[in-house]
């Protein structure tokens, strides 16, 4: 960060984060209710990620905010002003698309200058600003290249620079990383976050990749069928999923048979507190609990009822699949250092950590 303080200062000087409010948005496409009363608030300078499976309405929400899609009802407010009927080209929103959005007949530099050219800025100012932006996204060296001479990751960097060059009120990122290789994806996602913090623009980031959403966002909104299931900081979404859908969609979960016991659920002999004790079924009901692999502990024990079925090495941690009586399978996450004692076929004992648990 120290290296970029100067840049951050200049960038922040002419940027201001504004508040954004989506208020009861509805949109129907034929038989599909893409948005079903969506409410979402973004604080000034905040990065909110909309997360959900394909078809959940997250892209429609972003496009409505961009002005590229119209709503059937509901309002869009930016900085307190109702812009629901403002056309896209007067909304001042920088947008980064999934892919292929750079103009192929313009160089990286000219792409970034494009928005400024439309605003009739002087040539000198355009060039300076574009160079600054390309530097910010880390590809100043390729300013003269055409899109087809750039890799997918570089193209998305240019797209980001182009979107930021017009000093947008709001930055909209529509699955900007999903067309990229896994490694580039992680690298660029961290950089998007760095840049967003630097320029301080309120940002909506749409993705179907939960890891991505949790990594970059101040808050994550999980969407399903055109409405929000839960909005909150990444840690909340992950550790205290409000609904079974969220628990299931975010992170990997074991589905284990359990029984409700006064505000908790008993699974494999352990009592786990419930995320939502009020909405839980009555006592003694048979339920399916969603348990994260990292909440499962496995230890070699000759008297244990479990048997290691398979081990997959993931680096510092590994996943161990254990078979329990009654055909129950449990996936546990353990430190890879412990793999030596957990070879396939080993008899093991399984314990669960008492973390808040959701029911399916």
> Is residue 117 within 8 Å of 193, Cβ to Cβ?
no
Among 18, 38, 42, 69, which residue interacts with another protein (rule: CB under 8 A)? 69
Is residue 60 near another protein by the rule CB under 8 A?
Answer: yes
Which of 68/311 has CB closer to another protein?
68
CA-CA distance, 323 to 338, in Å (whole number)? 18
CA-CA distance, 107 to 194, in Å (whole number)? 25
Among 22, 38, 49, 67, which residue interacts with another protein (rule: CB under 8 A)? 67
* Among the residue ranges 115-123, 237-245, 258-266, 305-313, the one whose residues contact another protein (CB under 8 A): 115-123
Among 5, 9, 118, 252, which residue interacts with another protein (rule: CB under 8 A)? 118
Pairing of strands 328-335, 317-324: antiparallel
Among 3, 6, 30, 148, which residue interacts with another protein (rule: CB under 8 A)? 148
> Is residue 206 within 8 Å of 61, Cβ to Cβ?
yes
59: part of which helix (H) or strand (E)? helix 58-66
- In whole angstroms, how close is the CB of 130 to another protein at the nearest point? 13
Is residue 176 near another protein by the rule CB under 8 A?
Answer: no
- In whole angstroms, how close is the CB of 88 to another protein at the nearest point? 4
3-class secondary-structure state, position 141: helix
Is residue 26 near another protein by the rule CB under 8 A?
Answer: no
- In whole angstroms, how close is the CB of 152 to another protein at the nearest point? 14
Sign, CA torsion 197/199/201/203? negative
Q: Which two tokens stand for residue 87?
A: 């056309």
Q: Which two tokens stand for residue 342?
A: 């957990």
> Is residue 266 within 8 Å of 327, Cβ to Cβ?
no
Among 9, 88, 141, 284, which residue interacts with another protein (rule: CB under 8 A)? 88
Which of 60/321 has CB closer to another protein?
60
Is residue 83 near another protein by the rule CB under 8 A?
Answer: no
* Among the residue ranges 38-46, 58-66, 267-275, 280-288, the one whose residues contact another protein (CB under 8 A): 58-66
Which of 170/280 has CB closer to another protein?
170
Per CB under 8 A, contacts with another protein among 185-244 are 208
Is residue 27 near another protein by the rule CB under 8 A?
Answer: no
Q: Which two tokens stand for residue 257?
A: 């048979």
Report the DSSP beta bridge partners of residue 351.
297
Q: What is the size of the binding site for another protein (CB under 8 A)?
A: 47
CA-CA distance, 220 to 80, in Å (whole number)? 22
Among 25, 45, 49, 59, which residue interacts with another protein (rule: CB under 8 A)? 59
Instruction: Name the packing angle between helices 123-136 and 152-165 (round to 10°).
Output: 130
> Which residue, chain included where needed, has tokens 């909104």?
221
Is residue 302 near another protein by the rule CB under 8 A?
Answer: no
Is residue 73 near another protein by the rule CB under 8 A?
Answer: yes
- In whole angstroms, how close is the CB of 6 to another protein at the nearest point? 27
> Which residue, chain included where needed, has tokens 């899109």?
147
Among 11, 20, 58, 249, which residue interacts with another protein (rule: CB under 8 A)? 58
∠ CA 127-131-135, nearest 5°, is 170
162: part of which helix (H) or strand (E)? helix 152-165
| Burial class for 262, CB neighbours closer than 10 Å (0-12, 13-18, 19+) | exposed
Site residues (vs another protein, CB under 8 A): 34, 52-60, 66-73, 84-85, 87-95, 97, 99-101, 103-105, 114-115, 117-119, 148, 162-163, 166, 172, 208
């Amino acid at each position: 960060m120290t290296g970029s303080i100067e840049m951050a200062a200049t960038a922040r000087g002419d940027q201001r984060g504004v508040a954004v409010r989506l208020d009861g948005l509805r949109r129907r496409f034929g038989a599909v209710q893409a948005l079903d009363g969506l409410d979402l608030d973004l604080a000034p300078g905040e990065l909110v990620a909309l997360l959900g499976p394909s078809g959940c309405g997250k892209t429609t929400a972003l496009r409505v905010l961009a002005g590229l899609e119209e709503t059937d009802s509901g309002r869009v407010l930016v900085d307190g002003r109702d812009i629901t009927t403002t056309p896209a080209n007067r909304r001042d929103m920088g947008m980064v698309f999934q892919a292929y959005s750079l103009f192929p007949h313009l160089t990286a530099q000219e792409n970034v200058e494009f928005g400024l050219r439309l605003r009739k800025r002087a040539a000198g100012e355009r060039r300076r600003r574009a160079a600054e932006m390309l530097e910010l996204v880390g590809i100043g060296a390729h300013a003269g290249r055409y899109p087809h001479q750039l890799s997918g990751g570089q193209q998305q960097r240019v797209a980001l620079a182009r979107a930021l060059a017009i000093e947008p009120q709001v930055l909209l990122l529509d699955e900007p990383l999903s067309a990229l290789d896994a490694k580039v994806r992680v690298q660029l996602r961290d950089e998007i976050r760095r840049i967003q913090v630097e320029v301080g623009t309120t940002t909506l980031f749409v993705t179907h990749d939960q890891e991505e959403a949790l990594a970059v966002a101040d808050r994550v909104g999980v969407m399903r069928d055109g409405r929000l299931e839960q909005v909150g900081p990444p840690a909340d979404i992950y550790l205290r999923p409000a609904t079974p859908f969220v628990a299931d969609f975010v992170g990997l979960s074991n589905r284990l048979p359990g029984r409700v016991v006064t505000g908790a659920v008993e699974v494999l002999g352990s009592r786990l507190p419930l995320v939502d004790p009020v909405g839980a079924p009555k006592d003694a009901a048979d339920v399916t609990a969603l348990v994260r692999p990292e909440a499962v502990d496995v230890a070699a024990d000759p008297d244990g009822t479990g048997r290691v079925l398979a081990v997959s090495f993931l680096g510092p941690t590994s996943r161990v699949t254990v078979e329990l009586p009654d055909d129950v399978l449990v996936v546990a996450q353990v430190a890879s250092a412990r793999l030596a004692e957990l070879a396939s076929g080993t008899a093991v004992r399984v314990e669960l950590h008492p973390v808040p648990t959701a029911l399916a």
